[in-house]
Amino acid sequence: MFNLHSLCVIVLLVFSPSRAADEDDDHDEGLKANPVSDFVTSAEFGTARSVCKPVPNTMGLCSGIGYEEMRLPNLLGHDSAREAQQQSAAWMPLLGKHCHADTRRFLCSLFAPVCLPEVTAPVRPCRSLCEAVRDACLPVMSAFGFPWPEMFNCSRFPDGSELCIPGEKDPNRAESTDAPKGSVICEVCSSDSEGEREIQQNFCKSPFVFRLRVGSTSLDGTDVRVVPQGRSRVLRWQSGPQEEQAAAEQSALWLPRGRGCSCPALDGPLTGSYIALAHMHSGRMVLRRLLKWPRDEKELKKFIRMLLRQDC
């Protein structure tokens, strides 16, 4: 998504040790860190080298977060970008629940902490950020049988008296009166029965139609960024082969104002196939309709053949 938020961190103290510049392989034994108390890795105490590495563009949780480099070992003891990426993938479904605007910011502060040249260790999230995300997302997690993990214990994070990652909103500011209404279904996300009919009726009117799998979703302001998994199949495009190629290479589809509504197709596990109607607007591929296919792949193939037989 996602720059999702700009990271406003003011460094009040300039540390004398210089930033590590070793570009050894991520799996170098020297990078391994043993997590110690209060989410501080041993990298801060000199027993492991703390280095800055690019945030992988395949790290769906944090790619496009607003900064380009993360510090390793991270705050969960992962000593390589690959390990951090693999472990962070388990938290992608929580983003799809849109339980708090800062969920991604909080998770990325742990899995891919920002690399600040003036600071030789990962910058931890503020306790207020952790508590805000926990209070909003724990009910959602509990509904699926998951507790708030001990490794996210908010009491272990700074209370704001030292450098830390704050939430996007000032905790002292009153909440906006136009808070998201999760019970409102996004117009783009129709029910299964209505979705099939609407896609069939609007297939020829739509500039672009895709068959895709969804890799991740994330918030970018009030919009939801939908990132395909792998290459999408373009079922319909506006004109020539160049437009087909450009459509297939789109890195994301966008659900406008998706933060203020619920999209059943993107709730829960992002498995199976999707069909999307879309158009280009201001350089973005914007969704018009999104259907998560409710039946087996054989039925989907029959449905696609029926769409392609239409005389557009």
- What top-level class would CATH report for the domain 29-156? mainly alpha
What does the domain layout of the chain look like in residue ranges? 29-156, 192-308
> Would you put residue 183 in left (φ > 0), alpha (ψ -120 to 50) or beta?
alpha
pLDDT in tens, the chain (312 residues): 333 333 333 222 222 333 333 333 333 333 333 333 334 333 333 346 789 999 988 898 988 788 889 999 999 999 999 999 999 999 988 888 888 888 999 999 999 999 887 788 889 999 999 999 999 899 888 888 899 999 999 999 998 778 898 887 544 333 333 334 344 678 888 665 577 888 888 899 899 999 999 988 888 888 888 988 888 888 988 776 666 666 767 788 999 888 877 788 887 778 889 999 998 888 888 999 999 888 888 999 999 999 999 988
Task: Tell me which CATH code domain 192-308 carries.
Answer: 2.40.50.120
d(C-alpha 38, C-alpha 49), whole Å: 19
Could you tell me the two tokens for 160? 């704001």
Angle between helix 103-111 and helix 127-143 axes, rounded to 10 deg:
110
What pLDDT score does 248 carry?
Answer: 66
DSSP the chain: ----S-------S--SSPPP-----TT-GGG---B-GGG-BGGGGTSS--EEEEPPTT-TTTTTSS-SEEEES-TT---SHHHHHHHHGGGHHHHHTT--TTHHHHHHHHHS-B--TT-SSPPPBPHHHHHHHHHHHHHHHHHTT-PPPGGG-GGGS--SSSS-B--SS-TTSPPPSS---TTSBPTTS--HHHHHHHHHHHTTT-SEEEEE-EEEEEEETTEEEEEESSPPEEEE-SSSHHHHHHHHT-S-EEETTGGGSB-GGGSS---S-EEEEEEEETTEEEEEEEEE--S-HHHHHHHHHHHHTS--
Could you tell me the two tokens for 31? 């990078």
What pLDDT score does 171 carry?
Answer: 45
pTM recorded for the entire structure: 0.46
